[in-house]
Chain A
Amino acid sequence: MSARTVLHDSDITRALRRIAHEVLESRRGDGRLVFLGIPTRGTVLAERIQRVVDEIEPGTSSVGSLDITLYRDDLARTPTRAPAPTRIPDEGIDDAIVVLVDDVLYSGRTVRAALDALADHGRPRAVRLAVLVDRGHRELPIRADFVGKNLPSSTSERVSVRLADVDGVEEVTIEP
């Protein structure tokens, strides 16, 4: 069986716009929003979401990236990989509402590492999590606040997010 496309490019764009709106709605008070994407594709998604937010409420949000390579708990089991850059907006994250953005939420271990990394950069007022796809099978007590699509899957299946900026095509597929 070959890969089945579960989100097309238009679906992705729509999902990201919806997430942007939901983030704004959920914000209580006038908290500063900082979107931090988890490299590689999370960074791209964070930039897109922030662009939408900035169109709606200009100047109230910023975007960056948060690399979690050095915080992973499976370092010893995988070949060494080069870290990706971390870019924290100049204003910092103290007292901001940080929205972590990733492409797929699966075991939750990446998010756990991201929370650890975040703590070393400062003390946000709140941390939220936005993902394009939630495929289930959590191994840690972590859930997403904003989800593009819930995609119940089997652990043997492979979920792939491809984005135009990184991969040349824009789609989410699932394959056995």
Chain B
Amino acid sequence: MTGVLIRGATLLGETREDIRIRGGRIAATGRLTAELDERVIDADGLVALPGLVDLHTHLREPGAEASETVLTGTRAAASGGYTTVFAMANTSPVADTAGVVEQVHALGIQHGYATVRPIGAVTVGLDGERLSEIGAMARSRANVRVFSDDGTCIHDALLMRRALEYVATFDGVIAQHAQEPRLTEGAQMNEGALSGELGLSGWPAVAEEAIIARDVLLAQHTGARLHVCHVSTAGSVEVIRWAKARGIAVTAEVTPHHLLLTEELVRGYDARFKVNPPLRRDDDVRALREALADGTIDIVATDHAPHPAEAKECTWAEAAFGMVGLESALPVLQTTMIETGMLDWEDLARVMSSAPAAIGRLDGYADPLTEGAPANVTLVDPAARRFWSRNDLRGRSTNTPYTGVELTGAIIATVHGGVPTVLDGELRPADEVAAAAARLREAARG
């Protein structure tokens, strides 16, 4: 079968249409009749969204393949409705050269489940001292536009200034992990009454807000673009709102877990809830939801951070920071933002697809689901409800914080560049996906 016909989907939750996919592109929309060589997907009752884009994914390859690989991570992404992921640079070796980013990029193409856009490290080895070869990465086949030392903060003000200026030369953006290191030495959870009671070192909100405040002023001063990773506090939202009002070129992301979970979960010392920045208070969750709704926060990014079981089955202080989130992102967003009426499906498509694509300078997502656009499509069953479990995960690690939580919405199908990666709610086999992607590449070349 050479084509796909999606029948009766509700486009962005608005109008009911059929979608024809041919040669990796949307061939037509409207009322269509199935042709003989088409695979027909019955999308009655399903919402069609553009393929989702995650600007903040840890794929762990190279270096920590026991936690995740490009293959397993993009399978997780596809099952969550994603068609592009931006892979963070904190691998081993660090993605600070053209060689590493091209390798990761090529693995994504080879497997075919999702487009992998590597993020380049800002400094060599993430050591916060010397700029890495930003130009070489930008000009490489990986076409790097997002640079980040995520995992650590670029805390040296001079280095941050230079990075902003230099990256601007290549139309890139610095994605800052905002965490003042001295204020968070040994930090384990949100600083507050609960950290005091549990005897865990606090991660104060000011450690995030102070860096964001400095960085937006540096962005203003340099005229460069700044992107703030995983905003987690109400105070950070205030700073970003102020910066945007002054016309500063700042964008910001929030993770699904910071939109749903609070520090109360730390009470049981279950390290699945250990994440950086930490889960905060109800007030912060409320402020983050409002900021995403009013556009102060531009996008949702998962900060998908796989860890092996032993990194979480230990005492809180010894456990690793991070949670997986690709598979659960859309259900969490539907639960927290759509069900509450704070976003509609079109808004969701913006914050989870077109806006992150724009920040990452990713082509093909500006005008999705229209004739001629690349065929990146996600079909969601908005009526599905389920108690989340490890069985819903498709990556290599199982450190999800949502087990036992009831989430609405399920990904029924994902099409990446014309290749179905998920059908009937299940991943297509790896060989089939890789072969289909290869055929489309051949056809495009020929």
Q: Are chains A and B touching in the complex at the 8 Å CB cutoff?
A: no
- Residue positions of A touching B, CB distance < 8 A: none
